[in-house]
Amino acid sequence: MTKSNIAKQMGFDEWLDLAINDPDGFEAARTAAIQGFLDSASPQSRKRLTGLQWRIDMIRKNSKTPMAACQTIYSMMWDQLAGDNGMLESLKSLANGQFNRPGPRFNASILPFKPRLAEDSELS
């Protein structure tokens, strides 16, 4: 049985026991469970989910305490749920019969660049 299959079968108490008694084993099982989930995702979702997991891992790595990481991840979740263009807003628009996709969150100005000099293009 693979590590990811074992991790899928573990309950809360097993995870807790592993975290207390074998932190390295807990981390290995956690990583295997996450990777197993990512591998089972559709190709369309896998890239986005992998990026989200990377963000979560970086928050955990760069936070001063586990509680600080938890609070940051919790805030990130609520922003996606209830923030601008979040899930609740999207569901409300669907319920109202509006099927418009939200526009880009940020607008940028396009800067004009002068053409390169002829001698610059000869050097390339």
Q: What is the Cα–Cα distance from 66 to 28, expressed in whole angstroms?
A: 18
Do 10 and 29 contact (CB within 8 A), yes or no? Answer: yes
The alpha carbon torsion through 98, 104, 110, 116 (nearest 10 deg) reads: -120
Q: Check residues 8 and 38 and name the one with the higher pLDDT.
A: 38
Confidence band of 21 (pLDDT split at 50, 70, 90): very high
Domain ranges of the chain: 1-40, 47-84
Q: What's the pTM value of the predicted model, to 2 decimals?
A: 0.64
Do 40 and 50 contact (CB within 8 A), yes or no? Answer: no
User: What Å distances lie between residue 94 and 10, 82, 84, 102, 103, CA to CA?
Assistant: 38, 15, 15, 12, 15
Least confident interval from 35-44, 66-75, 80-89, 100-109: 100-109
Q: Check residues 89 and 34 and name the one with the higher pLDDT.
A: 34
Q: Is the dihedral of CA 85, 87, 92, 94 positive or negative?
A: positive
The single-letter DSSP state of residue 60 is H
Confidence band of 56 (pLDDT split at 50, 70, 90): very high
Do 29 and 18 contact (CB within 8 A), yes or no? Answer: yes
